[in-house]
Amino acid sequence: MSTSTFSSHLKSQKADFLADNGEGWTIVMGNEAGDLDSLASALGYAWLRSHTSGKAIAYITTPREDFILRAENLYALGLAGIIQPFEELYCSGDPMPSQVSQFALVDHNVLDTRYNTPTARVVAVIDHHEDEGKYKDTADPRIVEPVGSCSSLVAKLFQSSNLPIPPELSTLLLSAILIDTKGLKAGGKAVDVDREAAAYLIPLSHLARSEGLSALSDNQPITQRSSVQSLSVTLGEKKSNVSHLSTRDLLRRDYKEYTFTIPASDHVTRSSKMMRKGKGRREQLWIIKATDEGIAEKLWQGLESNEELRLKRRGFANFGFVDNAEIAEETEDEDEDDDEDSEEATTDEAAFGESYIARAYKQRNANATRKQTAPILRKILEGT
Ligand SMILES: [Mn+2]
């Protein structure tokens, strides 16, 4: 299939879907952060499902104005011949037809409350986050495995289906795997499933077309070939080049919202957490409504005693706060030592004003991502 027919297939599929008002269709969606893994998994599984078990379309959850925040997504879509994503793909901002009731979840395993109407049914789950145990009676397949990239699980499904995979999709899935596993680096997030998926996809991707790569062409592992590694480097550069983005853009780029039910009181609280990643450094900032003091206490205690995250309290002066409202001139705080700021830290919980209680932490285990923190948070708040 040529690039132009792949993208025109998507375009006409979108038109059919809207003409049907969604009736009889399954919407395949990734998580709301909208990273390349979510995007590729949704497009990949929608293709597979629409060729095996009925009408399915990928829904791209990223809002139109946020699309530019992920240059690596635009780049990988470009490799797949999708140059104008908003025309070719069914995206956030397009109408959600009233007849839609079937959802397939990829790269997350709980249907967002926005779509969770009384008639909504989750008919498939393919994910690599912690399993929240839902939809066991309705989802088929229901695959939740801790692999490096959800795209690897989608690739594995293609492999066992014997359905020919378009090179555009191979390229997209491969790109997501490379991004998520930093080029399948040894000692990183890649597990065997990721390596096997990449080895399956590479000869079926654009890389093969440009270089005549085949799985058996020499003794070097296919994932170590220079064209694969250079794609990985390019994607990584696109992803980490964020110099054109503002602080607000950076936060929007990785925003995720979680809903937890707190036992004892009947609150439902929404906590959003932001983490910025530097070279091997990770910090956490928590902001809580002052009216939720019980939650704050529970949270501080749970977080600070957590042995996986190994959090170290940090004072807001480290981040340029001089008092409640003002932000200081840029201060250098590279390589701060672990003990200097514990005293002042206790005094500035009101850094975000009286309505909020805030604490900042340095994460001494910089390897733990949101994937580890989210279940810890749930345990602390829900006690399960
Ligand atoms: Mn993922």
**Domain parsing of the chain, residue ranges:** 3-238, 256-382
- For residue 150, report the distance from its CA to the centre of ligand 1, in Å: 5
What dotted CATH number matches 3-238?
Answer: 3.90.1640.10
Percentage above 70 pLDDT, the chain: 85
Residue 183 backbone dihedrals phi, psi, to 5 degrees? 70, 30
pLDDT band at 122 (very low <50, low <70, confident <90, very high): very high
- For residue 152, report the distance from its CA to the centre of ligand 1, in Å: 10
Residue 260 backbone dihedrals phi, psi, to 5 degrees? -125, 150
pLDDT score of 326 more than 50? no
Q: Residue type at 88?
A: E
Q: Please compute the mean of the pLDDT values over residues 333-344 and round it to a whole number.
A: 46
* Peptide bond just before 141 cis, omega within 30 deg: yes
pLDDT score of 77 more than 90? yes
- For residue 109, report the distance from its CA to the centre of ligand 1, in Å: 11
Q: Please compute the mean of the pLDDT values over residues 189-193 and round it to a whole number.
A: 95
- For residue 127, report the distance from its CA to the centre of ligand 1, in Å: 7
- For residue 14, report the distance from its CA to the centre of ligand 1, in Å: 24
Structure token digits, residue 156: 């594995």
Condensed to tens digits (0 to 9), the pLDDT of residues 365-384 reads 998 888 889 889 988 988 86
- For residue 330, report the distance from its CA to the centre of ligand 1, in Å: 34
Q: Please compute the mean of the pLDDT values over residues 150-156 and round it to a whole number.
A: 98
Report d(CA 85, CA 92) in Å as an integer. 11
Pairing between strand 257-261 and 268-272? antiparallel
Say which residue, 292 or 273, is predicted with more confidence.
292
pLDDT score of 277 more than 50? no
Lowest mean pLDDT among 6-10, 114-118, 165-169, 345-349: 345-349
- For residue 170, report the distance from its CA to the centre of ligand 1, in Å: 17
> Is 45 strand, coil or helix?
helix
Q: Please compute the mean of the pLDDT values over residues 248-277 and round it to a whole number.
A: 63
The separation between CA 340 and the C-alpha centre of its own chain, rounded to angstroms, equals: 35
pLDDT score of 348 more than 60? yes
Are the CB atoms for 219 and 174 separated by under 8 Å?
Answer: no
pLDDT score of 323 more than 60? no
pLDDT score of 258 more than 90? no
End-to-end CA distance of the chain: 49
- For residue 38, report the distance from its CA to the centre of ligand 1, in Å: 6
- For residue 366, report the distance from its CA to the centre of ligand 1, in Å: 18
- For residue 147, report the distance from its CA to the centre of ligand 1, in Å: 9
- For residue 107, report the distance from its CA to the centre of ligand 1, in Å: 5
Return the pLDDT at 98: 79
- For residue 12, report the distance from its CA to the centre of ligand 1, in Å: 28
Report d(CA 9, CA 312) in Å as an integer. 52
- For residue 193, report the distance from its CA to the centre of ligand 1, in Å: 14
Condensed to tens digits (0 to 9), the pLDDT of residues 199-209 reads 999 999 988 86
Helix ranges (DSSP H) in the chain: 3-19, 36-50, 71-79, 85-88, 150-161, 167-180, 192-201, 206-211, 226-240, 247-253, 293-304, 342-345, 370-382
- For residue 212, report the distance from its CA to the centre of ligand 1, in Å: 30
- For residue 44, report the distance from its CA to the centre of ligand 1, in Å: 13
Are the CB atoms for 121 and 138 separated by under 8 Å?
Answer: yes
DSSP 151-194: HHHHHHHHHHHTPPPPHHHHHHHHHHHHHHTTTT-TTSS--HHH
- For residue 41, report the distance from its CA to the centre of ligand 1, in Å: 8
- CA-CA-CA-CA torsion for 345, 347, 352, 358, nearest 10 degrees? 50
Report d(CA 148, CA 145) in Å as an integer. 9
- Residue 343's CB is within 10 A of a number of other CB atoms, namely 10
- For residue 347, report the distance from its CA to the centre of ligand 1, in Å: 38
- For residue 37, report the distance from its CA to the centre of ligand 1, in Å: 5
Q: Please compute the mean of the pLDDT values over residues 116-121 and round it to a whole number.
A: 91
